[in-house]
Amino acid sequence: MTQTPFHVVFAIFDQITQLDFTGPAQFLCRMPGAQVHVASATLDPVVTDVGFAIVPTTTFADCPQADLLCVPGGLGVAPALSDAQLINFVRNQASEAQWVTSVCTGAFILGRAGLLQGRRATTHWGYTGLLPMVGAVREDARTVFDGNVVTAGGVTSGIDFALTIIAELHGEDVARSLQLNFEYDPAPPFAGGTPATSPKPIVAMMRERFYDARAAEMEAALNATA
């Protein structure tokens, strides 16, 4: 008996954070029946925020309808908020998708497409205060489900989101099997990883050196595209 494909579509754009995309993609591609599509405006390589490129598998125009749509984040989100082709693709795909998801600041792409209005959502800790600008209700969690919309926090949380979705679709045993397959057993060398668990001087330093400026850029981009 032929299994109906479950189409997983990642919408990508220049300056995405590659782990926002590749983390969940590595897990979701192993779901029973999964077919992963990497969609962009063209088939030209998409440059990530670490300098190497990812080659899309399909264009927005030719992409099949997603069963699960995922939008990663990264340094390219602020300029992407004014990319009508990307926003329209996300909005149109979301209208028929079973699951509409994001990782990190990809939540703001969902928000700009009108998909977070009145919904609980999360994003990277450096930007959570901006979620109300796209109509979302901020929730500080690694993964937030609100109906069929799922938002994950910063970067590595995309793996947790993928495993949670897999469990929803195929049961906990399948999710646990994939967790074992990829030896996902986080044991970081340092306590931290969130503002609440990191030393206050490090949090302050990161905000001052990076996130205050980046959040201001995101806020300006959201205002410009409101």
Instruction: Show the 3-state SS of the chain.
Output: CCCCCEEEEEECCCCECHHHHHHHHHHHCCCCCEEEEEEECCCCCEEECCCCEECCCEECCCCCCCCEEEECCCCCHHHHCCCHHHHHHHHHHHCCCCEEEEECCHHHHHHHCCCCCCCEECCCCCCHHHHHHHCCEECCCCEEEECCEEEECCCCHHHHHHHHHHHHHHCHHHHHHHHHHCCCCCCCCCCCCCCCCCCHHHHHHHHHHHHHHHHHHHHHHHHHCC
Indicate which residue of 29, 63, 70, 104 is catalytic.
104
pTM for the whole structure: 0.96
- What CATH number should be reported for the domain whose range is 6-224? 3.40.50.880
104 assigned to active site: yes
| pLDDT at residue 226, as a whole number | 82
Q: What pLDDT, on a 0 to 100 scale, did the predictor assign at position 1?
A: 52
Mean pLDDT per 10-residue segment, the chain (226 residues):
86 97 98 97 97 97 98 98 98 98 98 98 97 97 97 97 97 98 95 94 96 97 93
Residue 101 confidence (pLDDT): 98
Domain boundaries, the chain: 6-224
